[in-house]
Amino acid sequence: MRNFPRIFRVAAVLLLLEAPALAEDTDALKQARAQFQQATELEQAGNWAAALQRFREVGQVRMTPQVRFHIAVCEENLGRLVTALGGYELALAEADTVGPDFRAEVEQSIGRLRARIPKLVIVRGKGAASAAIALDGVALGATSIGVEVPLDPGPHALTAKAPNYRPFQQTVELKEEGVARVEVTLEALPQELLIQAGALRERPPSKVVPYVIGGVGAASLIGSGVLFGLRQGALKDLEDACGADGKSCPPSMQSRYDDLKFYHYGAQVALGVGVVAVGTATAILLLQNRKPKQPEKTSLELVPVAGGSEIGARLSGTF
């Protein structure tokens, strides 16, 4: 897949050519050459972690495009694709100092790796308009929301939080060459919890209900008064037509008699409803306006006593 021996030979030659620049520290140069040789052997054996460590040690002495390239190769094979891509791009920026073959090798590696790197798109959903969003413990800025974010394959922890909302937490599993989309939504906390936490002030009880009940009661009392007036009118008509003893009523007054009964009982019912409704409304308003009784405070104090030949203490307090 890669012509590693050729790359190794170029890197070794470059280190030798740069020896004059390192002449002031001959021991470090010798050690770097030995570490580079060890690193190439470890890389060929597939021991990527050990090879990466050796290449980094070489880079501390003298960082070259070839060393950057091999560090990126190790990172890629360890699954750190995003970091590897950055290493390849750094090597590409200096590739012209090595030669066209090296540049072509780096460009090929970059093209292949970019196709493998998965992406994650995070969008804000309901309740998350102003939420603080973090990915793998790192806070995300506005420029990272709603766009494809390149990440290494594997699980990634996505969290979000906002005042007065339940925290959001989700693990996203990314696969190579894939694009995942996650919508962050936050659920508002119940008002009871917000009140207990002091985030919201407790709402005073609504006065709509007692006012409605009181209005019904007042209307019933007025209706009772109207019906009572109609009752008295019907009663007078019957007395005029039937006489004081009521024994000589013409048949035409039967309907007037029915009206009298309706007004009589209707006035009583309306009166009862009005009295009950007004009383209920008054009781509700009194209960709503009553302040909760504060618990009595208790205190207890130990008072030393010293008088004459007696020495001691006494308890003093209020309950």
Which part of the chain is CATH 2.60.40.1120? Answer: 119-197
Residue 10 binned pLDDT confidence (cut-offs 50, 70, 90)? very low
User: Is the pLDDT reported for residue 213 higher than 60?
Assistant: yes
How buried is residue 96: exposed, middle or buried, by Cβ count under 10 Å (0-12/13-18/19+)?
exposed
Task: Tell which CATH classification among 1.25.40, 1.20.1300, 1.10.150, 1.10.510 matches the domain 4-116.
Answer: 1.25.40
Q: Whats the size of the chain, residue-wise?
A: 319
Predicted pLDDT of residue 75: 96
Q: Determine the average pLDDT of the residues in 33-45.
A: 90
User: Is the pLDDT reported for residue 62 higher than 70?
Assistant: yes
Which part of the chain is CATH 1.25.40? Answer: 4-116
Pairing of β 168-174 and β 154-161: antiparallel
Tell me the CATH number for domain 119-197.
2.60.40.1120
* Token representation of residue 74: 């190790």
* Token representation of residue 232: 């008295």
Question: Which residues have CB under 8 Å from 132's CB, separation 6+?
Answer: 139, 160, 161, 162
Predicted pLDDT of residue 292: 59
Select the highest-mean-pLDDT range: 49-58, 204-213, 255-264, 283-292. Answer: 49-58
What's the whole-number average pLDDT of the chain? 80
Distances (CA, A) of 183 to 75, 80, 133, 275: 31, 25, 11, 58
Predicted pLDDT of residue 45: 94
Residue 50 binned pLDDT confidence (cut-offs 50, 70, 90)? very high
**pLDDT tens for residues 281-298?**
788 777 777 765 655 555
**pLDDT tens for residues 119-151?**
999 999 999 999 999 999 999 999 999 999 999
Predicted pLDDT of residue 249: 76
**pLDDT tens for residues 146-201?**
999 999 999 999 999 999 899 999 999 999 999 999 999 999 888 776 655 555 45
Residue 189 amino acid letter: L
